Structure 1
Amino acid sequence: MCGIVGYIGPKPVVPVIIEGLRRLEYRGYDSAGIAVAGSPDGLQLRRAPGKLRNLEAVIAEHPIHGTFGIGHTRWATHGRPTEENAHPHRDCTGSLVVVHNGIVENYLALKQQLTAKGHTFVTETDTEIIAHLIEQELKEMEELLASTRGNSEPTRPALEEAVREAVKHLTGAFAIGVLSAHEPNKLVAARSGPPAVLGIGDGEYFLASDVPGILHHTRNIHFLADGELAVLTPEGVSLSDFSGRPLELKTQRIAWDPIQAEKAGYKHFMLKEINEQPRAIRDTTLGRISFDTGQVFLDNLDISADDLRRATQITIAACGTSWHAGLAGKFMIERLARLPVDVDYASEYRYRDPIPSPLDLGLLITQSGETADTLAAQAELISKGSKTLAICNVVGSAITRRANGTITTNAGPEIGVASTKAFTAQLTALFLLALHLAQVRNTITPEDSLRLATELGRLPSKLESMLLDPSNTIGMSEGVAAPTLTSAATSSSTPAWPGPERRRAPRLTLDEQCQHLARLFHAASNFLFLGRGIHYPIALEGALKLKEISYIHAEGYPAGEMKHGPNALIDESLPVVCIATKDPDDPASVLKYEKTLSNIQEVTARAGRVIAIATEGDDQIASLVEHTIHIPKAPELLLPILEVVPLQLVAYHIAVRRGCDVDQPRNLAKSVTVE
């Protein structure tokens, strides 16, 4: 989300950094700052809350000059979006500054240690810790050098060595840029988690959090890997790992144009955002849960623990995809916190004359925080005496300003109209809230808290294995070959689906599996999505994704309701997507899975064409259906975050094959600000 731009070279440094930050505005931010050095005035810092234009106004009034510098646009995670909390952050001497993307999970412990050593802190941020930590490492290195050299002239230790030692103390995720007034024409960068790139120009060198920030200056890019540390000087770039071992700079030539750059090389924003989900979930989780104890920390809730314990019900109001997240959240909260949950369409809530109790809590789920219907539902809840919480992707939006507390989904801006990463970030936030409520209400043991926290922490890497690893072969088995469909235009009004001959398909990546299904089923007129329990909201979301971007009629249905009407729809022309996952360690999950297998047999007995989403290692289901996509194992309440990804990809590839406008589907808007 946050943006970083650093520069060292012959050009005036301020315009280069400001222009780079402007090209990263799409990532979202709430404050901005810049630090430059290399002039007689020493290290100079300018910062401002709000948009980049506010920083430009400050610089116009108080100009700064130098030969090297770093800039930052910040999305607040620790501390309000104020000038004081904006990056870059300084050490005690004011001669060293740091910019940082990510979250330092152990910042409170580090702050206590550094305070005991005499450091003074002036902000509410976790980033300031890094500046003081590097300062402390420099001080200790200087003392060591002085003790070994005696009375000879002291030698200042290299900045990169202090950074290398400092990052070893950090727990969490970080991409940092560091400069010191005492080391002219040197920028140091390090990465563990959030992205960072180096730009190699003609006698000039760049640091950025994403390619668009520097692409207008150079197309020669090195993508900094986890555990890498880079030193940029006018002479070039040197690379090493956190242990100091030299590494080879691997420069790639980027052929993207500016629009492609914002899409990170993906054909559509939607595909980019699907692939950003591991990072979005990681960012929504970091700093809010201890993976050592399982304890959840939701700092921005102005609701006491007593209020949470006294609550008699939670009313969730949301629209569209956010409503589906709310339905899944109902299962999470009721199972973990044993607190009743009602889920309402925000557009319907105030018109049914609701009767909430002052002890009830209202929970508004919205990506933009400006959705008119959800704002109206919030106003209705407040008018009836309920306190409200918000799950939102935009800090400072209207809903967050009115709420008694907010859990921000740190997904970053979502450009595609059809929500993907915002949805899985909402599910993550809901799980955190459910676990927090369970801990406050004493409805979960410490052992179960730790187990679930550990499993939540594993989700991003599981998603990365599904999405990003080209060697991933989680696998799809199928009962048909992959012939080309005979279209309705060349045969009859009903697509002629492939025959029932069964074979074992080759192992494919998830994206290849979804492209294969798109080739088979893009000409369908209707789809049916089925799920039980917490998987039913994911069936609804899969149907919504498909209808939004491919314009195919699709319906989500509880699998157990098939015999009460929808069975009449099934014939050989109807693709049925069935979510048939299970947590083998959860008896209730296994029972739902067995019931779902019965529903699948109802469909196949009527010649329906079944695409199953199943858990890795489940070979039983492959004998019952034509196509199976396997996802990694996870606890029942976390499976939805994995299940929805193949549904998103199937919808995406079908829409592309049908020639639809994936990012801006007809008749839809990203933020619905009118009723």
Structure 2
Amino acid sequence: MCGIIGYVGDKKASEVILEGLKALEYRGYDSVGIAVMDREGRIRVKKDRGMLEEVSKKVDFLEMDGFLGIGHTRWATHGPPSFENAHPHGDCEGKVVLVHNGVIENYLELREELEGKGHRFSSQTDSEIVAHLIEEYRKDSEEFEAFRKAINRLKGSYAIVCMVEGKEKLFLARKNSPLIVGFGNGEMLCASDFTPMLKHTKTFAIMDEEEVCVVDKAGARFFDLRGNERKKEKVEVKWSPEEAEKGGYPHYMLKEIEEQRYSLKESFMADVRKASGLVEKYEKIDVIAAGTSYHAGLMLKYLFQKELKKRVDVVIASEYRYVAVPDKKTLVIAISQSGETADTLQAIKFAKKHGAKILAITNVVGSSITRVADETVYMNAGPEIGVAATKTFTSQLAVVYKLAFPEKDFSYVADEIARVMEETGEKAKETAQKLKFAKSVFFIGRGICMPIAYEGALKFKEISYIHGEAYAGGELKHGPLSLIEKDVPVIALVQRDETYEKMIGSIKEVKARGAHVIAITDSKEIEKVADEAIVIECKEKTLSPFYFIIPLQLIAYYTSVERGINPDKPRNLAKSVTVE
């Protein structure tokens, strides 16, 4: 996830864009750049690796003069943070310059085609190929038509803002990545969200899927990808700057839960081809991870053993060197959201010392884990500000599913997640009202639901400060039943699969001791057994973890809020654990 902004009007573009990028830096902060068209119609670009403040001091963005420009703050997905990979990107002659947020799935194929026609590339990014495609189509088409033709060639996700030398216009395109147009007084803006534009306007149009737009200082025209013009409704937004920073949400955590409908689209586009080759090659697989990533590792074990018939051990990273016996025949899959988790890095070093091959799954390009791994898969979740992992967990699951089912297309899951949020949001609030005074909450599941029960319990306790514990349903009679008494809440994850009858038995077991059972399930029949149920229609049984985790995240969030706790900053915890 990156932040993009564009401006055309009578103000100094570099000032407007620099100010806007400060509001967008939460979307990416490994490199930054601005392009401005000067009064002679020439485009100047300044960019570099690093955070906005340090790069701004280094290159002096405000030295650029002009009334039209674009800016970008990057979260790397293709190519490590560097000057070359920083946006904006241009064509061979620097006459077409653009910024991009998203992932172009077919960029390698397009790059090879363009290189065959003599185009020269200066970066490792997927974004640069779009500028060269436009350049190629400009040979026999005017600017907008060339832009539209280029966009029609792209597969994947994109929010693109483009400028062409000598043209006082911005060309926009959007698919699966947000892009909003702001209508000012004699000026126009566009950006990834409302935040950077609110000082200039309160009137906006939200671009639709597979839509293109031409913007000049007088207004904007919208078109579908075939070039048919569309009418567009405008909306008025009256947020405060603080509200806008979180997209109108009261907390980053809720915003990031909602963002899963977008982040999952990009995560399911992760390139796992080389990683799949490694998985196929090795019979001995160890997974090392901590916290939420450990639960993603448990899901990996379940799927690899069930679908790929691979034997997998999942070990908490801090324990790995004490219990594991890696060797040259071992593939170690290290999962870390930040790529900086100290326990995981130490476990990797131990495994490498004994000859193991390392496959990393992480969200941060250029992080420490990527420098010690033999192969890396990037989750493409974008920055996550809240300490409690939400969208990075489902992005980890997306990569795991791609590795387990390399031939399947799961892109529709993101839209399903949006539906689940709408259907379960109110019920999650009601549940939180009932749980806020609890002393302990137990989570139970079996089979594919077990890792989700563990993750649900972790989310709940880390931000509500209420004890939460997860158990396999079959383990209740081996100790935990002694803790069940009248009105103790038990959240049961029940799927209509081979575990269904056993889970009904587990529910009856705790109800017989007085527990209040809240079921999250794909079966309406469970309403007859549990005290209450959140029923979710799942298109595929194997994908239920994506469906069931959403109400668990929402229940944790709303319980925290009900108790007057800031869920973004739980006590004693940090986003990235960089000490052992």
Aligned partners of 1:394 and 1:74: how far apart in 2?
Answer: 11
Aligned partners of 1:366 and 1:126: how far apart in 2?
Answer: 24
Displacement after TM superposition at 1:116 (Å):
4.5
1:634–1:404: structure 2 CA closer, same or farther, 3 Å change rule? farther
Q: Look up the match of 1:133.
A: 133
Q: Look up the match of 1:339.
A: 310
Q: Look up the match of 1:505.
A: none
Displacement after TM superposition at 1:459 (Å):
0.9
TM-score, length basis structure 1? 0.81
Aligned partners of 2:444 and 2:47: how far apart in 1?
Answer: 52
Q: Look up the match of 1:459.
A: 413
Residues 511-560 of structure 1, C-alpha deviations (whole Å, 9 max, x = no match): 11111112233222211100112211111111111111111111100011
Aligned partners of 2:538 and 2:305: how far apart in 1?
Answer: 22
CA-atom RMSD, angstroms? 2.2
Displacement after TM superposition at 1:70 (Å):
0.9
Q: Look up the match of 1:515.
A: 429
Q: Look up the match of 2:12.
A: 12
Q: Look up the match of 1:153.
A: none
| 8 Å CA contact retained: 2:162, 2:172 | yes
Residues 88-141 of structure 1, C-alpha deviations (whole Å, 9 max, x = no match): 222234211121111222223333444454544443322222222222333223
| 8 Å CA contact retained: 1:328, 1:427 | yes
Percent identical: 44
Match of 1:402 among 372, 375, 378: 372
Q: Look up the match of 2:573.
A: 668
Q: How many residues align?
A: 580
Q: Look up the match of 1:489.
A: none
1:62–1:234: structure 2 CA closer, same or farther, 3 Å change rule? closer
Q: Look up the match of 1:21.
A: 21
Q: What's the secondary structure of 2:233's corresponding residue? A: coil
Aligned partners of 2:304 and 2:56: how far apart in 1?
Answer: 46
Residues 617-638 of structure 1, C-alpha deviations (whole Å, 9 max, x = no match): x222221112111223244442
| 8 Å CA contact retained: 2:4, 2:73 | yes
The letter of the residue matching 1:643 is F
Q: Look up the match of 1:109.
A: 109
Aligned partners of 2:115 and 2:355: how far apart in 1?
Answer: 43
Match of 1:613 among 499, 516, 520: 520
Q: Look up the match of 1:212.
A: 195
Aligned partners of 1:89 and 1:253: how far apart in 2?
Answer: 32
Match of 1:161 among 145, 152, 155: 145
Note if 1:318 corresponds to 2:301. no
Q: Look up the match of 1:172.
A: 156
| 8 Å CA contact retained: 1:462, 1:632 | no
Alignment of 1:638-649 (within 5 A): 638-649=543-554
Q: Look up the match of 1:99.
A: 99
| 8 Å CA contact retained: 1:549, 1:651 | yes
Q: Look up the match of 2:509.
A: 602
Deviates more, 1:360-369 or 1:554-563: 360-369
The letter of the residue matching 1:75 is W
1:457–1:571: structure 2 CA closer, same or farther, 3 Å change rule? same
Residues 20-60 of structure 1, C-alpha deviations (whole Å, 9 max, x = no match): 12221111243222222142371222222233345425533
Aligned partners of 2:112 and 2:577: how far apart in 1?
Answer: 45
Q: What's the secondary structure of 2:157's corresponding residue? A: strand
1:673–1:39: structure 2 CA closer, same or farther, 3 Å change rule? same
Q: Look up the match of 1:348.
A: 319
Aligned partners of 1:19 and 1:123: how far apart in 2?
Answer: 26
Displacement after TM superposition at 1:63 (Å):
4.3
Q: Give 1 or 2 for the bigger CA radius of gyration.
A: 1
Aligned partners of 1:116 and 1:393: how far apart in 2?
Answer: 33
Q: Where do 5+ consecutive residues of structure 1 fail to align?
A: 142-156, 289-295, 437-448, 470-508, 583-589
Alignment of 1:242-257 (within 5 A): 242-257=225-240
Displacement after TM superposition at 1:457 (Å):
1.7
Q: Where do 5+ consecutive residues of structure 2 fail to align?
A: none
Alignment of 1:552-567 (within 5 A): 552-567=466-481
Note if 1:382 corresponds to 2:366. no
The letter of the residue matching 1:227 is E
Q: Look up the match of 1:201.
A: 184
Residues 222-279 of structure 1, C-alpha deviations (whole Å, 9 max, x = no match): 2222133222212222223333333334332322222221211111111111111121
Q: What's the secondary structure of 2:138's corresponding residue? A: helix
The letter of the residue matching 2:567 is V
TM-score, length basis structure 2? 0.94
Residues 446-491 of structure 1, C-alpha deviations (whole Å, 9 max, x = no match): xxx3xxx23x222101001112x5xxxxxxxxxxxxxxxxxxxxxx
1:359–1:243: structure 2 CA closer, same or farther, 3 Å change rule? same
The letter of the residue matching 2:385 is I
| 8 Å CA contact retained: 2:180, 2:206 | yes
Aligned partners of 1:266 and 1:39: how far apart in 2?
Answer: 40
Aligned partners of 2:61 and 2:223: how far apart in 1?
Answer: 40
Note if 1:655 corresponds to 2:569. no
Q: Look up the match of 1:630.
A: 535
Q: What's the secondary structure of 1:104's corresponding residue? A: coil
| 8 Å CA contact retained: 1:222, 1:251 | yes
Match of 2:166 among 166, 177, 182: 182
